[in-house]
């Protein structure tokens, strides 16, 4: 059984569907239950990943329903395009709370409930590897996610728990479209910055995730799979 956070739309929904199609039992966690169930998981639960009580309750419900947890895809995240000198403390804390603290809390409570070997896949970003303009909070949060994933890989290898991160380029999701809506020419500019000349599709990130959480990646841990259309190769 695999938990996917932010499983109601975008990359999260595509991941739920890909894992389901490959025969995995999937549980989707999102802010409300209707959204969590939109991707047709085995179970959808409302969960606020920034609230440890909410996270623990959701994972307890998963164990009560399915008996065990094999792993998790830490996908829930938000973006912020604001220069550092204009970023408020509230904005900074909001981004770090969802993207990094949320990943920590779900990873923690998943590991506590694992009865044997398993796998975690963190959805980081190319912005955790290279700077993207006017996104200091987002870049910091995703760099933190990569560091967290590596630390877990080392600390829990003796239990057979693998931990890896997927680092997407810009992905064509509802969140991305909303972010770029005020800048009609920005989409063309950003597409041109990917050598493959387009945004990623959510299904492409889901495919990379499915590989890392599967037994095909049984000797892969503590690494990042970059799925960015060549963006960071330049």
pLDDT per position as a tens digit, 118-173 = 999 999 999 999 999 999 999 999 999 999 999 999 999 999 999 999 999 999 88
What is the rounded average pLDDT for all residues in the chain?
Answer: 95
What is the rounded distance in angstroms from the CA atom of residue 183 to the CA atom of residue 193? 16
| pLDDT band, very low/low/confident/very high, at 189 (cuts 50, 70, 90) | confident
Structure tokens at 52: 């440890």
Q: Give the model's confidence band at 43: pLDDT under 50 very low, under 70 low, under 90 confident, else very high.
A: very high
Q: Choose which CATH entry (3.30.565.10, 3.40.50.720, 3.90.226.10, 3.40.50.12780) describes domain 2-171+203-226.
A: 3.40.50.720
Q: Which of 223, 119, 218 is nearest to 162 (CA)?
A: 119
Q: Please provide the DSSP assignment of 118-132 as one string.
A: EEEEEE--GGGTS--
Give the residue ranges of DSSP H helices in 48-135: 52-66, 89-96, 102-113
- Pairwise CA distance, residues 172 & 67, whole Å: 35
Residue 184 has pLDDT above 80, yes or no: no
Q: Put residue 91 in one of left, alpha, beta given phi > 0 → left and psi -120 to 50 → alpha.
A: alpha
Which tokens go with 149?
């994933």
Enumerate residues 6+ apart whose C-beta is below 8 A from 170. 176, 190, 191, 194, 199, 200, 231
Mean per-residue pLDDT, 209-227: 98
Dihedral in degrees, nearest 10, Cα atoms 89, 91, 97, 100: -100
Predicted TM-score of the model (pTM): 0.95
**What is the CA angle 204-220-110, rounded to 5?**
80
Domain ranges, ordered by start, for the chain: 2-171+203-226
Catalytic residues: 138
CA distance 214 to 121: 10
Identify the pLDDT of residue 12: 97
27 pLDDT band (50/70/90 cuts)?
Answer: very high
**Spatial distance between the Cα atoms of 11 and 123, rounded to a whole number of angstroms:** 9
Q: So what's the pLDDT on residue 10?
A: 95
Confidence of residue 178 (pLDDT cuts 50, 70, 90): confident
For residue 26, the cross-strand partners are 2
């Amino acid at each position: 059984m695999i938990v996917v956070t932010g499983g109601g739309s975008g990359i999260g929904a595509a991941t739920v569907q890909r894992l389901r199609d490959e025969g995995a039992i999937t549980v989707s966690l999102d802010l409300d239950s209707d959204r969590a169930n939109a991707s047709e998981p085995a179970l959808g639960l409302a969960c606020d990943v920034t609230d440890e009580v909410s996270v623990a309750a959701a994972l307890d419900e998963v164990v009560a329903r399915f008996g065990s947890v094999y792993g998790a895809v830490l996908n829930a995240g938000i973006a912020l395009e604001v220069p550092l000198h204009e970023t408020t403390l509230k904005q900074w804390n909001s981004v770090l709370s969802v993207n990094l603290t949320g990943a920590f809390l779900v990873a923690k409570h998943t590991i506590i409930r694992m009865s044997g070997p398993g796998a975690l896949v963190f959805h980081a970003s190319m912005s955790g590897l290279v700077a993207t303009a006017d996104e200091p909070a987002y870049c910091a949060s995703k760099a933190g996610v990569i560091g967290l994933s590596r630390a877990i890989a080392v600390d829990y290898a003796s239990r057979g728990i693998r931990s890896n991160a997927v680092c997407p380029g810009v992905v064509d999701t509802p969140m991305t479209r909303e972010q770029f809506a005020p800048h009609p020419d920005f989409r063309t500019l950003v597409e041109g910055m990917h050598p493959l000349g387009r945004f990623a599709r959510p299904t492409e990130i889901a495919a990379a995730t499915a590989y890392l959480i599967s037994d095909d990646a049984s000797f892969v841990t503590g690494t990042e799979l970059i799925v960015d259309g060549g963006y960071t190769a330049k």
